[in-house]
Amino acid sequence: MIQLETLTKYYGSFCAVDNVTLNVPKGALYGFLGPNGAGKTTTLRMIAGILRPTSGRVLIGGDDVNRAPLAAKARLGFIPDRPFVYEKLTGAEFLRFVAGLYGQDGLLVERRIDELLEVFELSAWKNELIESYSHGMKQKLIISSALIHRPEVIVVDEPMVGLDPRAARLLKDLFKGFVSRGGTVLMSTHTLEIAEALCDRIAIIQGGKIVAAGTMAELKQQTKSGDIGLEDLFLRLTGGPAAKELAAVLEGGL
């Protein structure tokens, strides 16, 4: 459903994403992991069509995001890590606006707005300006906006940041339900327990390159690890010694 073909992105002379090739099959909940600055957000923003790749291409449902952007983006719902929204709109107005961007309006949209606000417990805030929402409420509103047009694919960057445990649980159930109905989710997260519990497949990126990809069993096989959890596997792949050094420094300091 999402295909990345030799995707590369340079910022000046710095290579943020280096020749990444990845295939996210339809109906999969795919985890995209990596340390800070590894290139996760840049990759996801290229998939969403926000950034232009330096080379390579992104296909969503067979449509190239840069050559046939309207068809590709119509399938997509993107949830960014930082909830920047129009602060002077109300929650309902914002959702109506996003639906409009996807060419949708009318009673069906109004019903969908009510449904989503109800699910995310924002109904009481429906007609309040977004500037009075908390960080978590804005994040819930953005998640609602990614679902308003009933996308086939959701690309989500750090979905759990700012969410309370109840909303985090709701989101996990929502993703599971979405995937079981044939939807596809590509999710970047630092919460490895969530990735391990939710994701069918996982890709780990470091220094702009994919260092491992597959199911948990395949990852263990690739790294010749025994019966270890995702956290140990992640640390092994992305610089375990550095993490140990950090722990030593912190212990020394205390």
| Structure token pair of residue 20 | 């990444």
Query: Residue 45 contacts by C-beta under 8 Å, 6 or more apart in sequence?
Result: 51, 80, 157
* Least Cβ distance, residue 71 to other proteins (angstroms): 8
**DSSP class of residue 62?**
T
* Closest residue by Cα to residue 188 from 140, 234, 122, 133: 234
Cα–Cα distance for residue pair 104/210, rounded to 1 Å? 37
Q: For other proteins, what does the binding mask look like between residues 85 and 104, x meaning CB under 8 A?
A: xx-xxx-xx--xxxxxxxxx
In whole angstroms, the minimum distance from the beta carbon of 134 to other proteins comes to 9
Q: Which of 128, 152, 196, 232 binds other proteins (CB under 8 A)?
A: 128
Answer yes or no whether residue 230 interacts with other proteins by CB under 8 A.
no
Q: Which of 15, 74, 168, 170 binds other proteins (CB under 8 A)?
A: 74
Pick 49 or 136: Cβ nearer other proteins: 49
What is the distance between the alpha carbons of residues 99 and 109, in angstroms, rounded to a whole number?
A: 7
- The CB density around residue 2, as the number of other CB atoms within 10 Å, is 24
Which letter does DSSP use for residue 104 in this model? -
Pairing state of beta strands 2-11 and 55-60? antiparallel
| Residue 129 lies near other proteins (rule: CB under 8 A) | yes
Least Cβ distance, residue 228 to other proteins (angstroms): 36
Nearer to other proteins, 28 or 76 (CB): 76
Told to check if 49 binds other proteins by CB under 8 A, we report yes
48 binds other proteins (CB under 8 A): yes
Under the binding rule (CB under 8 A), the answer on residue 186 touching other proteins is no
Phi, psi of 64 (to 5 degrees): -75, 125
Binding of residue 108 to other proteins (CB under 8 A) = no
78 belongs to the binding site for other proteins (CB under 8 A): yes
Cα–Cα distances (Å) from 237 to 28, 234, 248, in that order, read: 23, 5, 20
Site for other proteins, rule CB under 8 A: 45, 48-52, 69-71, 73-74, 76, 78, 80, 84-86, 88-90, 92-93, 96-105, 127-129, 131-132, 145
